[in-house]
Structure 1
Amino acid sequence: MQPRRPVATPPGRLQDIRRSPQGSESMDFRTCYVAFETRAERPLTVAARMDVPAAADGAAPPRVPAVVICHGSDGVDARGRFHAQALQAAGFATLELDMWSARGTVRGAPGRPKTVPETLPDAFAALAFLTRQPEVDPARIAIMGFSWGGVVSVLSATRRYADAHAEPGTWFVAHAAFYPVLWSYNRAPGHELRDLTGAPVLIHAGGADAYDTPEVCEAFLAGLAPADRAHVELVVHPGATHAFDRDMPAKTIHDPYAHNGKGGAVRFEFDPDAARAARDRVVQVFGEAFASVGA
């Protein structure tokens, strides 16, 4: 089985792409709004948008790979759709979480949970939920996220959190993270990045991201153990800010985690070239990971 080719879109805003690149046939998707319970010490009910292939009349739905999508501190926004449409065009189901509604929090840094590990049960509950869906291949599920959700994606690649939260027999086969606050690993409590599961981890960072200095990006891979570094790919997009794939009006926010943990202002500005390149690489890496299962 060959990896699926990345989907290219013309310059400008994301087009509504819903066709599978497999030959000339299209794969129609249907949208479901779902909810499921986590296995946290205080279980929460997490809401999500799920897009899965629609079955033809009288036929069983096709079983396809799937991707869990985790939002940033601002909650669900344009980033999820930006990537979900490309993933679906590649033939992958998607499950975009709303981690904030389960906690009754407001959007933005002031209202989010105190630590990212508090939300890891959400991601692993999503994994378990997808394994039970008739349209999903339970052995081919990946995870991706933005900022806060990017940290969720990175930390879910550690054996520590996978062993603590995954249901037996479930696992993520690949991880993608966008600007996941690189300075925090092996520095912030709960952000220990070691003893990875061995699944590929793709990280996209912005060269002008105010959360991290350029030196942090340069030192990130060197700070990992060689056995773990072998599974991590870091792509730095020159001149790109935090949330460079957020196809919405630019804005500036304030976050105590910015500027290597010193706090301060952070610019969000859409970079269409970096966004498309990063999105295509995610589709490619996930396609390769899915193709390798059972190969």
Structure 2
Amino acid sequence: MPVVRPWAVRLSLALFVCGCAPPAPELDPSPTDEAIQTPVATSAYVSFPALGTPAPLQVAGQLRLPRSASGKLPAVVIAHGSGGVDSRGSYYARALNEAGIATLEIDMWSARGLSGGAEGRPRAVSETLPDAHGALRFLSAHPAIDGARIGIMGFSWGGVMSMLTATRKYAAGAEPGQRFVAHAPLYPVCWVYNRVPGYEFGDLTGAPVFLQAGTADVYDAPDSCQTLLESLSPMDRASLSLKMYEGATHGWDRLESAIQVSDPYAHQGQGGLVDIAPSPGSARESRRAVVEFFQRTLVPAP
């Protein structure tokens, strides 16, 4: 399966969701998409050590700093899906940068020499949490970033990372005194939590969690995410908000040709085929909702 060129290669030379085809032009771009094509951020490829892996692991990432912002910036870590880095990261990063929020899109697969997809990813999402914690430490030490205003978002596999880092159990892997203060998972396979070892979700840090999912996502039942929310304690439930997109499949914001992938976690763990179909309208809405969420949680009121 073709995979996006790893950032580690770029540096040396200068699902859960499968990126099985080369990126194609986005479908039906909105006026907002066109308006923010002009670069609004400086971009640099960086690397940093993962935090707490058994063997040293250097993770690559693309850091974008808004050009027009002044003072220390809030920031968001963007974690990809099973297929690796694809156009979704930039789709959200551009809008966050436009809103004055820095972004760090990390590439977990190239650091491990993985190809992506169901057969080319780690065995469990918990194995990549050190990448998120390393990104948090890197951003916290960056002179342009406010270490007290760093959030995380992700797609599918990265969405699960966004969920788990909101728990006290998994947040404990970060550097002492550091934690993400806002979490925005997209289609993070809701059925798996508190049913599969390594996916415990509860005893939350208290940071807000904004979960978005589609009713036609066959990893889950249409009500899996609502059921998860209702299963939480009242205190944890207060931290989590949920937005569902009617008729949206897994990866609705992958604005390329529709694909079908196979994943053992699909159909609530029974395994099978998953349709991933672009929905430009839902994508614009979910991107706008992500930006508004991080503006509320990371950007202080004037």
Matched-pair identity in %: 51
Equivalent residue number for residue 247 of structure 1: 255
Distance 1:125 1:17, change over 3 A: farther
**Which residue in the other structure is 1:76 paired with?**
85
User: Paired residue for 1:30?
Assistant: 42
Match of 1:145 in 2: 154
- Counterparts of 1:175 and 1:214, CA distance in 2: 22
Counterpart for residue 143 of structure 2: 134
- 1:145 touches 1:176 (CA, 8 Å); kept in 2? yes
Distance 1:27 1:138, change over 3 A: farther
**Structure 1 residues 92, 27: closer, same or farther in 2, change over 3 A?**
farther
Query: Is 2:29 aligned against 1:13?
Result: yes
* Count of residues in correspondence between the two structures: 273
Cα displacement (A) at 1:13: 2.0
Q: Secondary structure at the match of 1:170?
A: coil
- Which residue of 2 is the match for residue 91 of structure 1? 100
Instruction: Give the alignment partner of residue 45 of structure 1, picking from 58, 61, 80.
Output: 58
Structure 2: runs of 5 or more not aligned: 1-26
Letter in 1 for 2:262: H
d(CA) in 2 for partners of 1:140 and 1:218?
28
Instruction: Report the 3-state secondary structure (helix = DSSP H, G, I; strand = E; otherwise coil) of the residue aligned with 2:293.
Output: helix
Equivalence for 1:22: none
**Alignment RMSD (CA, Å):** 2.0
Structure 1 residues 102-137: Cα deviation after superposition (integer angstroms, max 9, x where no partner): 110012111100000000010010011001112211
Give TM-score, length-normalised by structure 1: 0.88
The answer (yes or no) to whether the contact 2:125–2:161 under 8 Å persists in 1 is: yes
TM-superposed deviation, 1:66: 0.6
1:12 to 1:218, Cα distance in 2 relative to 1, 3 A: same
Cα deviation 1:203-228 (Å, max 9, x = unaligned):
11010001001132331211111111
Shift of 1:27: 8.8
Alignment CA distance shift 1:55-1:219 (3 Å): closer
Q: 1:221 to 1:102 in 2, by over 3 A?
A: same
Q: Give the Cα–Cα distance (whole angstroms) in 2 for the partners of residues 55 and 280 of structure 1.
A: 20
Listed as ranges, the gaps of 5+ residues in structure 1 are 1-10, 20-25
1:207 is matched with which residue?
Answer: 215
In structure 2, the CA distance between the partners of 1:77 and 1:27, relative to structure 1 (3 Å rule), is closer
Q: 3-state DSSP class of the match of 2:223?
A: helix
TM norm structure 2: 0.86
Q: Deviating runs (4+, > 6 A) in structure 1?
A: none
AA in 2 matched with 1:49: Q
SS in 2 for 1:100: helix
